[in-house]
């Protein structure tokens, strides 16, 4: 019989893995650079955060869980800056975002 | 070059020292002395960076920040990220891929560069929206579909950012322009 703590941990870690999986699928499915970076930033913010929150619950209230919480905080602070820097560099280099009406151009919509 | 206030210096010392204690886990005199020395070294190296002003209204301390609002904003932000994250998962996992890629430009009326930085980071952190460029007061945001940017153009998120710094409420964003065609 599993304890409640382990069950919650398993739930959170599985949810995080699902987010990362969908993020990877999104990288393959979405059409251009900017929309793909949405998929990457989501799998980072939510996937990694859910996995680490699950580990914090597994660990309980110890020093290690404090360190894990700091990891969450630093990911949440640095991830948007990295994504923004990449997107801005792409825009400055002249990469035009693929927009909704262009994509549907040839097809019947 | 302007000087750092005692408040700002003690704030960075306390936060760095807390970081050291959490990372080391030892409370004896030797480890704490090493911690004080390393923190002093880090602060000495970063002194020039902290005194440099990238913008006119840059601040080295967080006196204008309302701390109770900041705690509330932290949890509100987590809630927004989770809601938006499930929405983006639904969009990507849908076989029809119902995206509506669009570029939203708008002007903001926020008191400082820090407030704009917080808004820009929050927009990028929320799945489905991505701050591509900030030029003065003008934001350029790339969005995955309509409900992704609805939180921004309905002025909900910008108002929360404004409340972090000021008590009065006002319309923050204006000149919204949604482009779905190049």
Contact B180 A99 (CB under 8 A): yes
ipTM of the complex: 0.79
pLDDT tens digit at each of 182 positions of chain B: 566 778 888 888 898 998 898 888 888 889 899 999 999 999 999 888 877 777 776 666 666 677 788 888 888 888 888 888 888 888 888 888 887 888 888 888 877 788 888 888 888 888 788 888 888 888 888 888 887 778 777 878 888 888 888 777 777 777 777 777 76
The token pair at B113 is 């560069």
pTM of the model: 0.81
Q: Residue written as tokens 């509100």?
A: B76
Q: How far is residue A37's CA from residue A34's CA, in Å, rounded to a whole number?
A: 5
Best mutation target among A85, A99, A107 (most B Cβ atoms within 10 Å) is A99
A83 touches A37 (CB < 8 A): yes
Would the CB atoms of A45 and B142 count as touching at under 8 Å?
A: no
CB within 8 Å: A41 and B125: yes
Cα–Cα nearest to A34, from B38, B182, B11 = B182
């Amino acid at each position: 019989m599993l304890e409640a703590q382990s069950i919650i941990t398993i739930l959170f870690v599985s949810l995080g893995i699902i987010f990362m999986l969908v993020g990877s699928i999104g990288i393959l499915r979405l059409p251009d650079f900017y929309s793909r970076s949405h998929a990457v930033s989501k799998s980072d913010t939510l996937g990694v955060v859910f996995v680490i929150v699950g580990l914090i619950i597994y660990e309980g209230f110890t020093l290690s869980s404090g360190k894990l919480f700091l990891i969450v905080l630093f990911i949440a602070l640095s991830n948007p800056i990295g994504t923004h820097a990449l997107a801005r560099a792409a825009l400055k280099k002249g990469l035009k975002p693929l927009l909704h009406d262009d994509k549907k151009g040839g097809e019947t919509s | 070059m302007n000087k750092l206030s005692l408040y700002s210096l003690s704030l960075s010392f306390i936060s760095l020292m807390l970081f050291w204690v959490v990372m080391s886990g030892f409370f004896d005199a030797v480890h704490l002395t090493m911690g004080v020395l390393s923190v002093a070294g880090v602060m000495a190296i970063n002194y020039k960076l902290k005194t440099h002003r990238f913008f006119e209204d840059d601040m080295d301390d967080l006196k204008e920040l309302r701390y109770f609002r900041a705690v509330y904003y932290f949890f509100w932000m987590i809630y927004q990220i989770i809601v938006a994250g499930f929405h983006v998962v639904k969009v990507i996992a849908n076989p029809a891929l119902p995206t509506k890629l669009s570029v939203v430009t708008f002007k903001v009326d926020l008191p400082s560069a820090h407030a704009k930085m917080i808004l820009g980071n929050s927009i990028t952190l929320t799945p489905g929206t991505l701050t591509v460029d900030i030029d003065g007061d003008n934001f350029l945001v790339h969005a995955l579909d309509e409900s992704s940017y609805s939180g921004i153009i309905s002025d909900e998120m910008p108002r929360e950012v404004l409340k972090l710094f000021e008590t009065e409420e006002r319309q923050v964003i204006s000149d919204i322009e949604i482009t779905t065609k190049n």
